[in-house]
Structure 1
Amino acid sequence: MAFSILRSCVKSIGVSRQLLVLESKATCLEPHALVRSNIIVSHNEYKDDNFLQVYYDETRYGERWRSHDPTDREIICSLLIDRSIRPLFTAGFPANVTVNVCVLKTNWRHEADAELMAIIATSAALMKLNITRAGPIGVIRIGRINENIIINPTVDEQRRSDFNLLYVCTRQNTIMVDLVASEIPESDLATNLKLAQLEAVKCIDSQVKLRERYQRDKKVKLLTSNSKNFQDTRTQSSNHGGGEVAVGQSQCAEIISDVYRFDGRSIHQIRPVHCEAGYLHGSSLISCGETQVLCTATIGKPGETQSVDVLPRKRIIVDYEFPPFCTNHAVDIFCRRWREIGDGMFIEKALLGVIPSHRDFPYAIHLNSTVLASDGSSSTTSVCGGSIALTDAGVPIKSHVAGVSIGLLTDDETSNGQLENYRIITDTSGFEIEKGEMDFKIAGTRNGITAIQLDVKSTLLSLDVIIEALKYGCQAHLQILDHMEIAINSTKETSYYKKGKED
């Protein structure tokens, strides 16, 4: 494949000179935007995986935009930053780490890519503190227009691109991948992942120079040496769940050696899939193993599409609900949780590539996905159910989309977190996601991939492992598509609105 590189990955990173003992600040600057990341590290009791909190803020200085609640975009950007830096920390990190990212200047409609800049600024600020076991990280965004590959496309170019790939890595390992695409083939995606690895490391050198100039070793050593809990959870005492961790490792070792899982499936066997279209009007009820999801699609008048802040109106609105009862928890529900917003965005990205254009189908589309029972992979199951529900509601989607979650189990690793003995598993259950080292969500049609979302935990993974997992994911989602198509006999016409009636 011939690449036409239209933009480089050069960023300017500056540092605030006023540095407190446990505070670090870094600024990422380009002509159209300025993003600052502020990191505070403080002593606290052991809090398992909740030691890291990330808050992304797009301050709007006009009175019209004043609001105290984070928007969905701000929450999604916060999650992207969290996913990019969390694997850099040792499991069971003893202190609280709070990251506040402020977008001080930006130009949404032209050059600025605040998400990418926020990740770079946060990585640079972390390197000064010297509290991570790996890093710095490089980040790159890749798009493609008319078969030309674009490195770090502008916002306008992202809208016209065939795919939008956000890739975060260290010099040797993949940290996070986020993709939305219009049915990109597996081979093309693998090629672009390799290109992303080569380009992303270019922004690491400037962070290394920054670390050499501003690093404060003694202050960080004071923090870690005074903490009694500064050790990996794999060696924690039973007071902090060490027994549970040891049991989990033993179970993972059994799966790796026996090549069979606790539910009797082989390593790459999917769970039983049952689909039912028309459960309600414009709906689907789908079960993958013990996970069950009800999806309903509603068609509205053309003017009912939703606009998000200053961005264009969305073609499809997805509401993903993960109520506590689906995991046998009895707690009050006060507001949407960040997980629901993040998983809802993955479902939206997965289906966006098959939604007809506004010219062909000028109606507002709203999809609701409610998880009735969950034993892992509820968001990928929602992708399958959403595709069926859209068809049942009369939306002429281009192809059906299926999703699958790929995991990775390991019973050992080297001192620097590199992978040694491991097993890639297909269609993960709740236990396998909790004890595994990777959650790799893949969604696509028979023609190609529409969305992927990769999150890793404490074990650093090479790109070769990711590409291997991608191969198994593409094979599995085709099997799920076979089950889905059996449940779909015909596409219904859109009643009421398609006939041109309006209130």
Structure 2
Amino acid sequence: MFDTKTVSLEWGGKTLTLETGRIARQADGAVLATYGETVVLCAVTAAKSVKEGQDFFPLTVHYQEKFSSAGRIPGGFFKRERGATEKETLTSRLIDRPVRPLFPEGFYNEINVIAQVFSYDGECEPDVLAMIAASAALTISGVPFMGPIGACRVGFKDGEYILNPKQTTALTDGGRLDLVVAATHDAVMMVESEAKELTEQEMLGAVAFAHDSIRPVVKAIIDLAEQAAKDPWEVASQDGNADMKSAIKAMIGDDIAAAYKTTSKSDRSDMLNAARDKVKAHYASDEFDGQARMTAIKLTKKIEADIVRGAILKDGTRIDGRKLDQVRPIEAMVGVLPRAHGSSLFTRGETQALCSTTLGTKESEQMIDGLEGLTYERFMLHYNFPPYSVGEVGRFGAPSRRDTGHGKLAWRALHNVLPSHDEFPYTIRVLSDITESNGSSSMATVCGGCLSMMDAGVPIERPVSGIAMGLILEGEDFAVLSDILGDEDHLGDMDFKVAGTEAGITTMQMDIKVAGITQEIMGKALEQAKAGRTHILGEMQKALGAARTELSAHAPRIETMQIDKSKIRDVIGTGGKVIREIVAETGAKVDIDDEGIIKISSSDLSQIEAARKWIAGIVEEAEVGKIYNGKVVNIVDFGAFVNFMGGKDGLVHVSEMRNERVEKPTDVVSEGQEVKVKVLEIDPRGKVRLSMRVVDQETGEELEDTRPPREPRPDRGDRGGDRRGPRGGGDRGGRGDRGPRRDGGDRGPRRERDDRPREGGGESHIPDFLKD
């Protein structure tokens, strides 16, 4: 029934299998990819025609994780998969970025790529498998895809590269790298990484290791395509527009060249729009149809790219007149927002990021519900890109896929320089609002976010800076550009972002628009990026050289204390009664873990101290002879019970309230009254006897005991061998004749007991230890 085609290979110690023809047969291309026990289905569908007036390539990638794949039911009210999570959004971008450049220019048919995780074994990561499945599905679908690509994850530990480590452990237990690479057989297409300050050579070696590991996967996809690929689509040639392109260049070529020599972005934009309007007006006449007008607009963009790229390759002349390796002017400020816990304004050329850092307690951690189960994240970085930052009117609201991706890139850059939770027990949120943009706003977020954390007093190991590199590639000629502008990004062939400290790289991301770049080009870009990062770090240090040693007055303070595990239940109380009372009375937040580590937080130090003393009173043992502050919690006829040390009660007997005689306890104390007491005695059962009379209730100082000691009780003497004495004139000491009965009869002599068992048999009920 099924015409199933399958290829398999041993890869990284596990079997990778690609199968088609059994599932999703109505899609243009569908591949079921299995690695270990992780299974991903990717289906590709493509529109057979182009919508009228469409002048862009509408490729959409959706990646979805099914909770059933890990044997879990989703959390929340609806108990089903809802909108895309951050991880799903990032993985969708991870798939999109390397495949998009491999479609021919001018191909505008809509394509839908849907990758779904149906089984997850907890070891083989589904994101890399989804990239492989998407590449295979596109390759066999017949659409004009110039692939295939392969993908893999690389770790780095003890000087050795590791193929496809588990993502959650790639940076733990000595691991220093989490790198994802996508590549064709001949060239690298995409790089995404998080690292613990690796050198440029270590990163370059990791990319080369990944590329070598990817080639067998590319070959396997080609083998599958040879068995199951559909007939390729015919694509219209773009060569028939040479005459129109020459005419447009003659019309506006000089105008475009002049515009791209203008430093100001707004002035340059006005000059370019005037040139474009001239073309539109020329082709608006009746002698040209709608298709000709659309083609003219596309060719205008092509001419712009040719002019900019040619000037850079031939003369080394950039749009704003800088040298190829020159960074734009930088101005950095900190403490710009008075109520934020930390803030900065980082400006590089016409790109600007206003960043703020907020410190919170454990309850502010982000809860993440994923295939691995519930996890918690203490560091968050959120990036916003409002339309006014580029002087446009546009959508404003929830973060886009691009915003999510840029924020995660900056998060990776800063994550590995943060102090451990034990060193700095705060939840950290960095917010980056891009207020101006002309290239590399994500790297401005790295720089501004780092400064804002330092301003907030986060003791990061070393400052981090970031830079975006560009590339112009024509045949064998290329030029690497430092700190690219927005137009250089749009018209160039590469967007290569590198961030790190003076000690090494913390993140690296590369996207290209050509069919791959060589190791030589990547090495040149890394070398040039290092010089740029060093320069930017120097400019950042002019604003703030090191993290502040004091937190903002508006930030919560967190004090940590360790208690014995056996005391945890005493601090929490039945149903949480005690800890809720501590929080309600003191105003401080209290968190306690299973190891007995307690974190007390508040922006008011007096609240922290009150909660700390309360908890210390609960877990500490009372000490005889020591004076404590207490509160009367109950009054009885013979005295008052006083709560002291937070969770302990003791009795102040009425005789210990004053040196003189006290008739009633209520004459001296009332419920809720604050008193000072001295511990007189703790009996073996833990009951505490307290005294107020020997303590000055104003100062808390101990007073001399002026009351005379009690007279010792007189000796009662020998009360006789038989305390019961005579009874009714008889001798109670003997067990002889019991006397007459009340009715006048004779009771007779008392029966003598013998050693025979009682009726019913069995031994005496007296315990053995009492029989002696």
TM-score normalised to the size of structure 1?
0.91
1:438 & 1:172 partners in 2: Cα distance? Answer: 17
1:497 maps to which residue?
556
The gaps in structure 2 that reach 5 residues or longer are 1-10, 246-291, 560-599, 603-772
1:201 maps to which residue?
215
Among residues 281, 295, 301, which one is paired with 2:355 in the alignment? 295
2:307 & 2:184 partners in 1: Cα distance? Answer: 30
Amino acid at match of 1:87: P
2:494 & 2:446 partners in 1: Cα distance? Answer: 20
2:32 & 2:391 partners in 1: Cα distance? Answer: 44
Following TM superposition, by how much is the alpha carbon of 1:278 offset from its aligned partner in structure 2, in angstroms? Answer: 1.0
Given that residues 377 and 427 in structure 1 are in contact (C-alpha distance below 8 angstroms), is that contact kept between their aligned partners in structure 2?
yes
Among residues 442, 447, 457, which one is paired with 2:498 in the alignment? 442
Following TM superposition, by how much is the alpha carbon of 1:80 offset from its aligned partner in structure 2, in angstroms? Answer: 0.2
1:247 & 1:400 partners in 2: Cα distance? Answer: 38
Decide whether aligned partners of structure 1 residues 232 and 13 sit closer, same or farther in structure 2, where only a CA change above 3 A counts: farther
1:154-173 deviation digits (Å, cap 9, x = unpaired): 24432422111111111111
Say yes or no: does 1:278 pair with 2:278: no
1:322 & 1:277 partners in 2: Cα distance? Answer: 21
2:369 maps to which residue?
309
Decide whether aligned partners of structure 1 residues 232 and 388 sit closer, same or farther in structure 2, where only a CA change above 3 A counts: farther
Q: Which entry has the higher C-alpha Rg, 1 or 2?
A: 2
Among residues 55, 62, 66, which one is paired with 1:59 in the alignment? 66
Structure 1 residues 142-221: aligned runs within 5 Å: 142-160=154-172, 161-217=175-231, 220-221=232-233
1:471 maps to which residue?
527
2:105 & 2:534 partners in 1: Cα distance? Answer: 35
Given that residues 273 and 287 in structure 1 are in contact (C-alpha distance below 8 angstroms), is that contact kept between their aligned partners in structure 2?
yes
1:475-494 deviation digits (Å, cap 9, x = unpaired): 11111111001110453222
Given that residues 36 and 102 in structure 1 are in contact (C-alpha distance below 8 angstroms), is that contact kept between their aligned partners in structure 2?
yes
2:696 maps to which residue?
none
Say yes or no: does 1:396 pair with 2:459: yes
Amino acid at match of 1:442: V
1:129 & 1:363 partners in 2: Cα distance? Answer: 50
1:75 maps to which residue?
89
Provide the secondary structure at the position in 2 that maps to 1:331. Answer: coil
1:111 maps to which residue?
123
Say yes or no: does 1:29 pair with 2:34: yes
Decide whether aligned partners of structure 1 residues 203 and 233 sit closer, same or farther in structure 2, where only a CA change above 3 A counts: farther
Decide whether aligned partners of structure 1 residues 466 and 8 sit closer, same or farther in structure 2, where only a CA change above 3 A counts: farther
Given that residues 57 and 107 in structure 2 are in contact (C-alpha distance below 8 angstroms), is that contact kept between their aligned partners in structure 1?
no
1:141 maps to which residue?
153
1:329 maps to which residue?
392
2:517 maps to which residue?
461
Following TM superposition, by how much is the alpha carbon of 1:355 offset from its aligned partner in structure 2, in angstroms? Answer: 0.8
The gaps in structure 1 that reach 5 residues or longer are 1-5, 413-418
2:386 & 2:313 partners in 1: Cα distance? Answer: 33
Given that residues 9 and 199 in structure 1 are in contact (C-alpha distance below 8 angstroms), is that contact kept between their aligned partners in structure 2?
no
Range 134-143 or range 316-325, more displaced: 134-143
2:19 maps to which residue?
14
Provide the secondary structure at the position in 1 that maps to 2:443. Answer: helix
Provide the secondary structure at the position in 1 that maps to 2:326. Answer: coil
Given that residues 418 and 460 in structure 2 are in contact (C-alpha distance below 8 angstroms), is that contact kept between their aligned partners in structure 1?
yes
Among residues 386, 395, 401, which one is paired with 1:338 in the alignment? 401
Amino acid at match of 1:445: T
Decide whether aligned partners of structure 1 residues 233 and 245 sit closer, same or farther in structure 2, where only a CA change above 3 A counts: farther
Amino acid at match of 1:97: I
1:115-152 deviation digits (Å, cap 9, x = unpaired): 00000001111111243453211211111233332110
Following TM superposition, by how much is the alpha carbon of 1:87 offset from its aligned partner in structure 2, in angstroms? Answer: 1.7
Provide the secondary structure at the position in 2 that maps to 1:399. Answer: coil
Decide whether aligned partners of structure 1 residues 214 and 145 sit closer, same or farther in structure 2, where only a CA change above 3 A counts: same
Provide the secondary structure at the position in 1 that maps to 2:223. Answer: helix
Decide whether aligned partners of structure 1 residues 57 and 234 sit closer, same or farther in structure 2, where only a CA change above 3 A counts: farther
1:435-491 deviation digits (Å, cap 9, x = unpaired): 011100100100000001100113432232122211111111111111001110453
1:485 maps to which residue?
541
State the identity as a percent.
29
Given that residues 9 and 202 in structure 1 are in contact (C-alpha distance below 8 angstroms), is that contact kept between their aligned partners in structure 2?
no
Among residues 288, 294, 300, which one is paired with 1:239 in the alignment? 294
Among residues 408, 417, 432, which one is paired with 1:369 in the alignment? 432
TM-score normalised to the size of structure 2?
0.60
Given that residues 380 and 404 in structure 1 are in contact (C-alpha distance below 8 angstroms), is that contact kept between their aligned partners in structure 2?
yes
2:358 & 2:82 partners in 1: Cα distance? Answer: 31
Provide the secondary structure at the position in 1 that maps to 2:369. Answer: coil
2:446 maps to which residue?
383
Provide the secondary structure at the position in 2 that maps to 1:292. Answer: strand
1:214 & 1:197 partners in 2: Cα distance? Answer: 26
Structure 1 residues 82-121: aligned runs within 5 Å: 82-107=96-121, 110-121=122-133
Following TM superposition, by how much is the alpha carbon of 1:284 offset from its aligned partner in structure 2, in angstroms? Answer: 0.5
Following TM superposition, by how much is the alpha carbon of 1:194 offset from its aligned partner in structure 2, in angstroms? Answer: 1.5
Amino acid at match of 1:472: Q
Amino acid at match of 2:96: D
